[in-house]
Structure 1
Amino acid sequence: MRSPAASRWLVLLAALLAAALTARLGFWQLDRARQKIALHDEIEQRGAQAPIAAADLARDSDTAAQQHYRPIRVQGRWLSRHVVYLDNRQLDGRPGFIVLTPLLLAPGDAVLVQRGWVPRDREQRTRLVPVDTPDGEVSIAGRVAPPPSALFAMGSEEAGMIRQNVAVADFAREIGVALRPLSIQQLEPPSAPTDLLQRRWPLPALDVGKHHGYAFQWFALSALITGLYVWFQLIRPRRRAAR
């Protein structure tokens, strides 16, 4: 049978571990907030830099990560046969599509362009807003970005114009043209008056308040554990002994 002294030491050890763990989680949340603030500042600094030369556009993932959110202007030809409408992409709370089209930079070399957002037809989901895709060489002003984020999908393979997700490597094999490991978010609208695409590309959300809230909860739990230990193991026994 465990002695009273051993029980007290065991309770002390458990309280110390629990208080230390919850406090560590609080500091981790604060660190996550600092990381996001630093990332946001870095993204803004990249956006203010000079445009990347088209010839320097990344061909590997590591280089691509260093180019994200830099401005760029590229020239090429639209591969209009491979237009894709990414479904379930919201703008201002409205459901719609992000229109993707590969831009051929040179024979066998292309980049995926996020051309803009269009709303979904309320009555018929498969009724798509036509997007003007001119023949011949075009010049696109935009910013380098990660490939479109992947949403949860029931199936592993997708085909057709309407899709939930597009993986760059898989899409490159499908169309038979190499794609750079990134995308370009088109910023400058074309001169065509029939262009209906909206090009408001939000930057990654900071969510700093969320991390600060979690940190407060962890610190409060750490303080509660410490307070309960002090009350039940130190103050309360002394009060009983004093009576």
Structure 2
Amino acid sequence: MVRLHTSYRTLAALVLLALLAYVFVSLGNWQLRRAAERTAISQTIAHGRASAPLHLQADTPDGALVPWRPASATGVWRHDLTVLLENRSYRGQPGYWVATPLVLSDEQAVLVLRGWLPRFTGDTGLPIPPDVPVPDEVQEVQGELLERVPRLFELAGWAGGGEVKLPAHLPQDNGTVPIVQNLDLTDYAAATGLKLLPAVLAQTKAAQPGKIDGVDPAARASMRDGPHAPGVAAASPDTPPAMAFDWPEPSVDADQNRGYALQWFGFAAIAAIAWLFIAWRTLRRTRNP
């Protein structure tokens, strides 16, 4: 009985060690894949920033919209279609990203991440919407191209509480600015009726007055207001709120993942050596009882 019990324990130990070795190797390979992904992201960023600056036009081809490429655009803001993205921190302070479309022509616009504004709370403890500057003249915006608006994890949606969704129609009838956590370009285009370029321009410096050749003031007002835009209260030009243009970048530290992979492979080697030792000792006992 002792030998039978011992054989069961030995077999269980061998199975457990083999399983651990398999799991450790799988985790090491996963870390290597993550390192390859981060290396690819780093190369994409370097390639985009090394590209020649692009001036966005209504007829800019999709192939020219390379992520992280320096770009500029000249147009007028549609402030009535501004959306605030909440839970965006900057240097540890909570705040909002301001997303506003810049109309390039009567038929084309580009969504611009204009910058970060801090979040303040009133006497009641509720957050106060930030005072977003609303210049109505033609603006020239400089920044970098992104494939999409960077997303945050929706904890409410994961917990079954439902995500804060973008209204089906913008601008809203009550004139309030929507506040959401994530913004999808397709949903935003459907809500606003705008024809958007398939990219996002992340503004990197303060906008400057610009000029659109061949556009008269009446057409410029139509581009700014749109066919159904409500009145938008302009911020005081004397005290415009300062925006931050320091956008977060994806993590590209592939060496960290390679270090983790080396650790997992080390654990797998230890499990394999222990498996070989137990198997050898068992075989020896079987031959020399």
TM-score, scaled to structure 2: 0.69
Aligned length: 236
Alpha-carbon shift at residue 57 of structure 1 (Å): 3.9
Which residue in 1 is equivalent to 2:180?
163
Percent sequence identity is: 30
Which residue in 1 is equivalent to 2:145?
144
Alpha-carbon shift at residue 109 of structure 1 (Å): 1.2
Q: 1:58–1:180: 8 Å Cα contact kept in structure 2?
A: no
Structure 1: which amino acid aligns with 2:199?
A: L
Which residue in 2 is equivalent to 1:101?
100
Alpha-carbon shift at residue 240 of structure 1 (Å): 8.4
Q: 2:88–2:96: 8 Å Cα contact kept in structure 1?
A: yes
5+ long unaligned stretches in structure 2:
1-9, 157-161, 168-176, 209-236
5+ long unaligned stretches in structure 1:
1-7
Deviation string 1:118-142 (CA, Å, 9 cap, x unpaired) is 1111445441221222113211111
Structure 2: which amino acid aligns with 1:228?
A: A
Which residue in 1 is equivalent to 2:198?
181
Structure 1 range deviating more: 42-51 or 190-199: 190-199
Alpha-carbon distance between aligned partners in 2 of 1:45 and 1:173, rounded to the nearest angstrom = 32
After the TM superposition, which residues 61-80 of structure 1 pair with which residues of structure 2 at under 5 Å, given as runs? 63=63, 67-80=66-79
Deviation string 1:16-51 (CA, Å, 9 cap, x unpaired) is 676456335413422421331242133123213211
Q: 1:109–1:179: 8 Å Cα contact kept in structure 2?
A: yes
Alpha-carbon shift at residue 11 of structure 1 (Å): 9.0
Which residue in 2 is equivalent to 1:214?
260
Alpha-carbon distance between aligned partners in 1 of 2:126 and 2:97, rounded to the nearest angstrom = 14
Deviation string 1:152-185 (CA, Å, 9 cap, x unpaired) is 1523633342222221111111111111222100
TM-score, scaled to structure 1: 0.80
Which residue in 2 is equivalent to 1:47?
49
Alpha-carbon shift at residue 77 of structure 1 (Å): 0.9
Which residue in 2 is equivalent to 1:201?
247
Structure 1 range deviating more: 135-144 or 38-47: 38-47
CA separation of 1:31 and 1:71: change in aligned 2, threshold 3 A: same
Alpha-carbon shift at residue 213 of structure 1 (Å): 4.6
Alpha-carbon distance between aligned partners in 2 of 1:58 and 1:211, rounded to the nearest angstrom = 37
Alpha-carbon distance between aligned partners in 1 of 2:45 and 2:83, rounded to the nearest angstrom = 27
CA separation of 1:125 and 1:109: change in aligned 2, threshold 3 A: farther
Secondary structure, aligned partner of 1:106:
coil
Structure 1 range deviating more: 211-220 or 8-17: 8-17
CA separation of 1:176 and 1:43: change in aligned 2, threshold 3 A: same
Alpha-carbon shift at residue 78 of structure 1 (Å): 0.4
Alpha-carbon shift at residue 224 of structure 1 (Å): 2.5
Cα RMSD of the aligned pairs, angstroms, is: 3.4
Which residue in 2 is equivalent to 1:5?
none
Does the alignment pair 1:83 with 2:129?
no
Structure 2: which amino acid aligns with 1:170?
A: D
Alpha-carbon distance between aligned partners in 2 of 1:211 and 1:92, rounded to the nearest angstrom = 25
Secondary structure, aligned partner of 1:67:
coil
Structure 2: which amino acid aligns with 1:36?
A: R
Which residue in 1 is equivalent to 2:189?
172
Q: 1:86–1:100: 8 Å Cα contact kept in structure 2?
A: yes
Q: 2:121–2:127: 8 Å Cα contact kept in structure 1?
A: no
Does the alignment pair 1:233 with 2:279?
yes
Alpha-carbon distance between aligned partners in 1 of 2:42 and 2:182, rounded to the nearest angstrom = 25
Alpha-carbon distance between aligned partners in 2 of 1:24 and 1:71, rounded to the nearest angstrom = 39
